[in-house]
Structure 1
Amino acid sequence: MSASNSDPVVVGVDGSDCALGAVRWAARTAVLRGAPLQVVSAMSSGWDLGRAGIVSIDQQSFRDAGDAAVARAASIAVAEAAPHHLDVETSVVSPGPVAALRRRARHAQLLAVGTRGLGTFERTLLGSVSTALARRPLCPLAVVPQPGRPASDRLPVLVGLDGSPGSERALDVAIEEAARRGVGLVALRAWGEPAPGLRESQMTEHTHRLLGDTLVGYGEKYPGVPITRIVTGDDPAQRLLRESARAQLLVLGSHRRGGRDGFGSVSRTVLHATEIPLIILDRR
């Protein structure tokens, strides 16, 4: 299930501290994957305000700011990757970030963005870039939150499972990430409300069996990755967020429940509240 190493890890930047946090994470991840890194800066050429008209951006100022942003990001990426070699390509492009990053995602093995950036005015009009990309990811999307206390690189990878095809793929991706990092995997499945006629203890037992069936064969395929199982009747998004305090990375699958775009309530809640990097998978 691994992507070709020739496919790049792509990261979007705008000069903000949060974007540079995404660059650092993307650089380390590219090294782990043996992949090149593409650093992309993009911004709309203007904002359509309807009857108020169109507010244009000075194109040369945009180009100068973009050049400065990608140059700084590339320098940070190389330093973060050291002592390993990392091939870094930079681009300053138009149109806006969502369209530009979607285009790059078609040929990427992973796309990384921060949760917040520069330009409150643009976000108010166009919405969060990370949220827009998460609704219809064209490749696995890593959303890296505002830098805070860095998570230990010895913490496990956490994956949320719900029995859907998307979550089965999330398990594949999560355990590969754990193997690359030399850490364990925590697999969480929540059963929510008890089925009619079943007690909580019965639901817990039933969900344990389902989770066990899902994990069959993974211990043999990844003998170096210890797997911890969590079964809960808690709200899945809230329990994932609690468990993420003891993890370095969270992986969720896209699925058709919760909307045509596969962006369900769990993904939405976790995206806006996570304090660790989150990978949301493209729907296949």
Structure 2
Amino acid sequence: MSGTKLVVGVDGSAGALAAVRWAARVARARRLGLRLVHALPELPVPYPRADPTYVQLLEAAGTQGRAILAEARDAASGVEAETVLRPERPADALVAESDGAALLVLGTPGLRPLGRVLVGSVTVALAAHARCPVALIRPHAGEDEPSAEGPVVVGVDGSPASEEAIAVAYEEASWRGARLIAVHCRHRDGWWDTGTAAEEYARELLAQRLAGWGEKYPDVVVDREVVAGRPAERLLDFADRAQLLVAGSRGRGGLGGLALGSTSQALMSYALCPVVVARPRAK
């Protein structure tokens, strides 16, 4: 991935602090800068901007924001972190911050009783429209941090989004010293062809998509998996034992559209490991 810094969006939540700690470890290992960003909340009050009450509320929000950034900086132990307080809405601020970043890192809530993370609209918007890959980190139950063991898993379907995901996955597997599992799911309109010809075609397609990457990253051991089933379900199966899951995003349109593929949203909601969502680079 390009860029010389990791950007972390912080809001004072446990998920955001988990994201800061994860990003700090990555920044130390990769010798990247770390930038912690807090966006001031919109003030839902009927006061004009010149009203003294509005000014007081804005000052209080700034004071709270600086305290949130100070706590986040303390969580980034061992890394000299830059802190930034921005006046825009969170989605607008973090999209702007993602320009030139190596990775935008966001925290998510812990799993709910049914095993699902409630991914907010800002997170979905950023995963769909950020100008760099987006990592989603959630607090873990039973352990302090996400596991640093296991393979890196990437979903491969031949789309431009998948091509960017492959690039990110190889780079991540290389610096982590991890095995890479490249997964292609044979699924069309609700039915699965289990014939030999279809299996051979899928394996050839997967080999074509991975061609050339082995020469660029000769240190990465790759397992190629062709499986039948819905992509989200099968990728989540592999993610159960992974340290990182990488997926493509077909995000499009303006921030208000929040367009993101159903597979990406399912992975963001249910994966037990950190998820990196990669979009095709702008031409």
User: TM-score, normalization: structure 2?
Assistant: 0.83
Alignment root-mean-square deviation, CA: 2.7
1:225-264 superposed Cα distances (whole Å, 9 cap, x missing partner): 111111111110011111101101111122379x987621
Distance 1:4 1:152 in 2: 25
- Counterpart AA for 2:157: D
Distance 1:32 1:197 in 2: 42
**Pick aligned residue for 1:28 from 9, 25, 42:** 25
- Counterpart AA for 2:60: S
Q: Kindly, what percent of the aligned residue pairs are identical?
A: 38
2:149 equivalent to 1:154: yes
**Pick aligned residue for 1:171 from 131, 144, 166:** 166
**Pick aligned residue for 1:108 from 75, 93, 101:** 101
Q: Is the 8 A contact 1:18 1:147 kept in 2?
A: no
Q: Secondary structure at the match of 2:44?
A: strand
Deviation for aligned residue 1:203? 1.9
Q: Secondary structure at the match of 2:149?
A: coil
Do the aligned partners of residues 72 and 220 (structure 1) sit closer, same or farther apart at CA in structure 2, a change above 3 Å counting?
same
- Counterpart AA for 1:21: A
Do the aligned partners of residues 196 and 273 (structure 1) sit closer, same or farther apart at CA in structure 2, a change above 3 Å counting?
closer
2:128 equivalent to 1:135: yes
Distance 1:103 1:243 in 2: 33
Q: Which residue of 2 aligns with 1:207?
A: 202
Q: Secondary structure at the match of 1:193?
A: coil
Distance 1:265 1:139 in 2: 20
Q: Is the 8 A contact 2:181 2:224 kept in 1?
A: yes
Number of residues paired by the alignment? 260
Q: Secondary structure at the match of 2:240?
A: helix
Deviation for aligned residue 1:198? 5.8
**Pick aligned residue for 1:247 from 236, 242, 248:** 242
Q: Which residue of 2 aligns with 1:65?
A: 64
Q: Secondary structure at the match of 2:197?
A: helix
Q: Secondary structure at the match of 1:47?
A: coil
* Contiguous gaps of at least 5 residues in structure 2: 47-52, 111-119
Q: Is the 8 A contact 1:9 1:111 kept in 2?
A: yes
Q: Is the 8 A contact 1:143 1:277 kept in 2?
A: yes
* Contiguous gaps of at least 5 residues in structure 1: 50-54, 118-126
Deviation for aligned residue 1:147? 3.0
> After alignment, is 86-95 or 194-203 more displaced?
194-203
Q: Is the 8 A contact 2:10 2:37 kept in 1?
A: yes
